[in-house]
Structure 1
Amino acid sequence: MLKLIRRIESRALILVIGISGALWGFFNLASEMGEGDTLALDRHILLALRSPANPAVPLGSRSFEEAMRDVTALGGVTVMVLVTVVGVLAFLMHGRRRHALVLAATVLLADISSEGLKVFYHRPRPELVPHGSYVYSASFPSGHSTLSAATYLTLAMLIASLEPNRATKAMVYLLAMVLVLAIGFSRVYLAVHWPSDVLAGWCLGGAWALAAWSVLLRIPGGKQALPSPPAD
């Protein structure tokens, strides 16, 4: 029991450091963005993904461009709501009410924080080239990047906490990371976000995912999700 408590405390400390680092990254990016220091690199990366002859045309075939629209939809509000509802219902059906609550609360708080920060910073969307997807809100931070990081990483953490097989744990985390990175890339590729918007969204969403993990370790009964300590 003492070993398990020490493991929980050690993990909690690591998570606090991780959350602090993610938030530091977000606010540092916000400060740089506000001073205009990210604009040159943002423009360079965004234009690097466009045809030199015609910046209005993204690199790659039309089928790849359409695939990027499919990928970007995986981080949209509609899909995120569906994933969250299915995840919450699945956890409830298996008697994991704490897991269901952590997932629902994390996604909701990530969405609220993202929308609130968009209003606060009110950064315009890129206007260098036509947008490859419909947009209706401010640019910083990327809502798709924030929500996808918070949702998929939290869901992966919750599933992994119940899965004893290490290979399966690794696969779940890898799949979540691939989805998050692909969605972020698609936002820049479609020219609906600056790269710094996406990076800030990853920091914010990652902070919420780490906070969810910290909560799972600390809430009463949350330790039931941890693997059993090795026998002496």
Structure 2
Amino acid sequence: MKLKFQFTLAFILSLLSLICFSGMALLINGSKIVAFDRSIISLIQGFETPGLTTIMKCFTFIGSTPSVAVISLFSLFFLYKVLKHRAELILFIAIIVGSPILNELLKLLFHRARPDFHRLIEINGYSFPSGHAMSAFAVYGVLSFLLWRHISTRWGRTLLIVISTTMILAIGISRIYLGVHYPSDVIGGYFASGCWLAIAIWFYQRYQEKKVEQRDLLKVKNEYDDISTRK
């Protein structure tokens, strides 16, 4: 029952994320979100100070490809050696590797230019959706999913969600603060990565469900064979 619930939940979340991303993409193509983007950028960059800029650069670095690679390697080691995960490693790798590939495909599809005003760092490439936002959501999202069942206390699970949510939001906000992404890029990145994450978990839960069904069938078969042998 628990697997079936998780299976259904993953499907619903993937569908909702896809719908939200599609809506964001339509708004961007129709240039109907410019006012929203500029108002949020003005609000966030209004807090600019030298100290905050340093902090935002740190979060952007944490969300960069080299940092994500290091975090992923440590996570794989922890999942394999400490928690004895096996099948979960495939899910983790698929999500982490698939996220940047999906991001590049979407950027080539939409060809959205980056903001050209008040940049605090320089970067090339297209803007929508944000690769940092997608990577952050993928990494901390899948880690939360995999670690959740190993944490039995409410405060532990709460702490896990708070840390993951903080990292996801901070990395996304850092891209807006530094002037290299529109808010809609970041939000679109969250939705795109959320869709990818939920689809991957959906297939993983489907695999787990089939394993349980096969195990139950084998158990029934063994019991039947044992009864037949006794007769």
TM-score normalised by L of structure 1: 0.84
Q: 2:104 aligns with which of 96, 115, 138?
A: 115
Alpha-carbon contact 2:107-2:127 (below 8 Å) kept: yes
**Cross-structure match for 1:230:** none
Q: Output the amino acid matched with 2:56.
A: M
Moved over 6 A (4+): 221-224
**Cross-structure match for 2:155:** 167
1:156, distance to aligned residue in structure 2 (A): 1.3
1:128, distance to aligned residue in structure 2 (A): 2.1
Give the distance between the partners of 2:19 and 2:108, measured in 1 at CA: 20
**Cross-structure match for 2:182:** 194
Q: 1:25 aligns with which of 20, 23, 45?
A: 20
The higher radius of gyration belongs to 2
Alpha-carbon contact 2:3-2:209 (below 8 Å) kept: no
Alpha-carbon contact 1:154-1:212 (below 8 Å) kept: no
- Give the SS at the match of 1:205: helix
Give the alignment's Cα RMSD to 1 decimal: 1.9
Q: 1:40 aligns with which of 35, 43, 51?
A: 35
Give the distance between the partners of 1:26 and 1:62, measured in 2 at CA: 34
Give the distance between the partners of 1:50 and 1:162, measured in 2 at CA: 39
By relative contact order (CA 8 Å, sep 6+), the higher-ranking structure is 2
Give the distance between the partners of 1:211 and 1:96, measured in 2 at CA: 20
Gapped runs of 5+ residues in structure 1?
A: 1-5, 52-58, 225-232
Is 132-141 or 189-198 further displaced after alignment? 132-141
**Cross-structure match for 1:144:** 132
Give the distance between the partners of 1:69 and 1:196, measured in 2 at CA: 20
Percent identity for Structure 1 against Structure 2: 25
Give the distance between the partners of 1:220 and 1:149, measured in 2 at CA: 23
Aligned length: 211
Q: Deviations over 1:51-88 (max 9, x none)?
A: 5xxxxxxx332011111110111111111111111111
Give the distance between the partners of 1:201 and 1:223, measured in 2 at CA: 33
Give the distance between the partners of 2:152 and 2:209, measured in 1 at CA: 18
Q: Check if 1:104 corresponds to 2:93.
A: yes
Alpha-carbon contact 1:98-1:222 (below 8 Å) kept: no
1:7, distance to aligned residue in structure 2 (A): 2.3
Alpha-carbon contact 2:60-2:171 (below 8 Å) kept: yes
* Equivalent residue runs for 1:201-216 within 5 Å: 201-216=189-204
Alpha-carbon contact 1:151-1:209 (below 8 Å) kept: no
Distance 1:197 1:170, change over 3 A: same
Alpha-carbon contact 1:153-1:173 (below 8 Å) kept: no
**Cross-structure match for 2:58:** 70
1:48, distance to aligned residue in structure 2 (A): 2.6
**Cross-structure match for 1:11:** 6
Q: Deviations over 1:194-215 (max 9, x none)?
A: 0000000011112223234333
TM-score normalised by L of structure 2: 0.85
Distance 1:173 1:114, change over 3 A: same
